[in-house]
Amino acid sequence: MLTPIKTPLVAKKLFQNYIWDISTTDKVIYLTFDDGPTPKITNWTMDVLKQYNAKATFFCIGDNIEKHPDIFYTILKNGHAIGNHTQHHIKGWKTKTKDYLENIAEAQEVILSQNTHSQISKTTNLFRPPYGQITPKQGKRLMGLGYKIIMWDVLSFDWDNNVSQENCLENVLTKTTKGSIIVFHDSVKASKNMQYTLPKVLEHFAGKGFSFEALNFN
């Protein structure tokens, strides 16, 4: 496993203009879900979150929003935050800056076009690069456009078929601290590990007095 579960401090300092965690002394955790909305899985995720009065941030793929606008609207209606995850889940390192920005802009138009019920989250300036791949030039341009680039403090590795359900859970339980931004995926690929891990993470940290909040920088 080349990518660390817990983001090293050196990486956070090297790319300090990106948001890796939230500095706080409060018992707060920031759950995030990438790659949706996905039929059944996203709704299941929201149902589990609701049991713990938990809010989260969903980094949505524009193409998936267009396919499943009803699920997207439910995310908004339930009070979760929305982030941009590009229109087609493209890799920044393999994409020209102009094309990358255009793909993000396309997704942003889709997000804003769904604001038919005035339920859109105020936090529409969040962006997470698929695969965590973004060049310095791309990042600079996006921040110049007002985006907050959201990375992570803890990776669950729920998408990795080589990671067992038990290890996925251990990744989160042992590495999460106050203010951690945790990455899950509401996708088919990650569903086995995510659906095993999420309820146990919520139960564990709720039992320790933690709350779960959506990201908001407004």
Residues carrying an active site annotation: 34, 185
CA distance 215 to 38: 21
Cis peptide before 37 (omega within 30 of 0): yes
Identify which of 216, 180, 169, 186 has the alpha carbon closest to the alpha carbon of residue 58: 186
Residue given tokens 């942003």 in the structure block: 108
- Rounded Cα distance between 160 and 176, Å, is 19
What six digits make up the tokens of 60? 């949505």
Rg (CA), the chain: 16
212 in Cβ contact with 31 (< 8 Å): yes
CA distance 66 to 62: 6
**Cβ atoms of residues 187 and 41 within 8 Å:** yes
